[in-house]
């Protein structure tokens, strides 16, 4: 590995991490401003231009809050849980390609921190680890409402991971590979996967809402029932870590969705690779716009729908999404065999 490669990797790591953190901050603001817009309110607009500095003020507030550890809490687990939620949430962005490869001198730099050969599995694995954080937070708090939230988190995880994994299998079968590079290259050649796998895309979209604990599936928090669910007993920066990882998960899930079904950084009918620097810029812009749309969708849905009940969510996961995902896999299989024969 040459010095250039190491330098490029470092820059990319810092860039992805920095941009992700910045987006999280913007998302916390966007959530409040967009929801206010939908609800005939103004939202926070006093700190900075149009409230742009509000996330900084919030962060400062979290820093200054008293950090409470309940006496009944299981200290090691209680302290570890926010870390288990936060770290995987920030790690998943590493495998998402955010633009067309950039030509610098004789080096071709892929705009992606690491093109793992199991990229898709890597994200699935890490997001599952994050749920352990919720379960442990619920258990470690030593309080009843968080415990119920933790129980719900574990039930929700099992109900949705299966349907989510199976919906991806259709895409993987078409592509024949698990790396995001291959998946996007395939979509560039033959069109976006949303046209070929609409059912899988729908199941995946519903599943990522459940995966990221957003309304209508935010049962683990369920402010109106469980007060705050798993994070009821958390305060100060530990609470901020849960709060921020929720948005980090949303960003990852949106990027995942875009990469799997909406061509990643691909702009239809344009050959980005042939356009040089402008092509790269265009592809990054396309990626940002697509991810931005799904982030907006997250907010939009949250402030529109009521919440499902625990058993209704399980029923939807097991009795509707899972069979549909299986049907999708079988249909994709038949189609592949038919195409190979023809």
Partner 1 sequence: MTATDSKSSNFGVVETEEMVLNMGPQHPSTHGVLRLKIRTDGEIVTHIEPHLGYLHRCFEKHCENLSYEQVIPFTDRCDYLASMANNHIYALGVEQMMGLEVPDRVEYIRIIMVELQRIASHLMGVGTFGLDVGGITPFTYCFRDRERVLDLFEYTCGARLLYNYIWIGGLSHDLPENFVQYANEFLDYFEPKIDEYNRILTYNKIFIERTGDVGVLPADVAISYGCTGPVLRGSGVSWDLRKNEPYSIYDRFEFDTVLGTGEMGTLGDCWDRYFVRIQEMRESIKIVRQALAQLPEGDVFEALPKKVRPPEGSIYFRGESPRGELGYFIVSDGKNVPYRVKMRSPAFCNLSVINEIGAGWMISDIVTILGSLDIVLGEIDR
Residues making contact with partner 1 (CB under 8 A): 35, 38-41, 144-145, 148, 151-152, 215-216, 218-219, 222-227, 303-312
Cα-Cα-Cα-Cα torsion 219, 28, 20, 232, nearest 10 degrees, comes to -40
- Identify which of residues 300 and 335 has a Cβ nearer to partner 1 in the complex: 300
Please, are residues 97 and 115 in contact by the beta-carbon 8 Å criterion?
A: yes
Q: Are strands 99-104 and 107-111 parallel, antiparallel or unpaired?
A: antiparallel
Q: Shortest approach of partner 1 to residue 43 CB, angstroms? A: 12
Judged by DSSP in three states, 272 sits in helix
| Cα–Cα distance for residue pair 256/208, rounded to 1 Å | 9
Q: Shortest approach of partner 1 to residue 216 CB, angstroms? A: 6
Tokens of 53: 């500095």
Q: Shortest approach of partner 1 to residue 231 CB, angstroms? A: 14
Q: Give 247's contacts (C-beta < 8 A, 6+ positions apart).
A: 23, 24, 27, 28, 31
| Cα–Cα distance for residue pair 46/28, rounded to 1 Å | 15
Q: Shortest approach of partner 1 to residue 101 CB, angstroms? A: 43
Q: Shortest approach of partner 1 to residue 38 CB, angstroms? A: 6
- Identify which of residues 157 and 280 has a Cβ nearer to partner 1 in the complex: 157
- Identify which of residues 94 and 151 has a Cβ nearer to partner 1 in the complex: 151
- Identify which of residues 120 and 203 has a Cβ nearer to partner 1 in the complex: 203
- Identify which of residues 42 and 337 has a Cβ nearer to partner 1 in the complex: 42
- Identify which of residues 243 and 262 has a Cβ nearer to partner 1 in the complex: 243
CB neighbour class for 2 (10 Å; exposed up to 12, middle 13-18, buried from 19):
exposed
Q: Shortest approach of partner 1 to residue 225 CB, angstroms? A: 5
- Identify which of residues 29 and 215 has a Cβ nearer to partner 1 in the complex: 215
What are the phi and psi torsion angles at 67 (to 5°)?
Answer: -95, 110
Task: Name the nearest CA neighbour of 298 among 333, 262, 259, 246.
Answer: 246
Q: Shortest approach of partner 1 to residue 127 CB, angstroms? A: 23
| Cα–Cα distance for residue pair 7/11, rounded to 1 Å | 6
């Amino acid at each position: 590995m040459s010095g250039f490669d190491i330098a490029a990797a470092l820059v990319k790591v810092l860039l992805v991490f920095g941009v992700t953190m910045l987006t999280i901050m913007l998302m916390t603001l966007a959530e409040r401003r967009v929801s206010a817009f939908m609800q005939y309110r103004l939202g926070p607009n006093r700190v900075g231009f149009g409230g742009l500095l509000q996330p900084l003020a919030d962060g400062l507030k979290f820093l200054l809050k008293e950090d409470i550890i309940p006496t009944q809490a299981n200290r090691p687990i209680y302290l570890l849980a926010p870390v288990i939620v936060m770290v995987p949430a920030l790690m998943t962005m590493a495998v998402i390609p955010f633009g067309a490869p950039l030509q610098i001198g004789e080096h071709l730099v892929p705009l992606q921190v690491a093109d793992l050969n199991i990229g898709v599995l890597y994200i699935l694995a890490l997001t599952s680890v994050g749920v352990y954080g919720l379960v442990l937070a619920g258990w470690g708090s030593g309080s009843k409402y968080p415990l119920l939230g933790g129980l719900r988190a574990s039930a929700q995880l099992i109900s949705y991971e299966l349907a989510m994994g199976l919906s991806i299998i259709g895409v993987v079968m078409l592509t024949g590979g698990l790396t995001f590079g291959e998946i996007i290259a395939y979509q560039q050649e033959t069109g976006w996967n949303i046209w070929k796998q609409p059912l899988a895309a729908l199941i995946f979209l519903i599943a990522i809402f459940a995966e990221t604990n957003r309304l209508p599936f935010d049962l683990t928090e369920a402010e109106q029932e469980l007060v705050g669910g798993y994070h009821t007993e958390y305060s100060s920066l530990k609470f901020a870590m849960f709060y921020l990882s929720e948005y980090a998960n949303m960003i990852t899930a949106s990027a995942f969705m875009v990469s799997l079904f909406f061509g990643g950084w691909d702009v239809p009918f344009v050959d980005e690779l042939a356009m040089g620097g402008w092509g790269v810029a265009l592809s990054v812009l396309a990626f940002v716009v697509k991810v931005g749309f799904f982030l907006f969708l997250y907010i939009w849905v949250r402030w529109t729908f009521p919440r499902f009940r625990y058993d209704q969510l399980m029923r939807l996961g097991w009795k509707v999404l899972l069979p549909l995902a299986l049907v999708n896999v079988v249909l994709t299989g038949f189609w592949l065999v038919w195409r190979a024969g023809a």
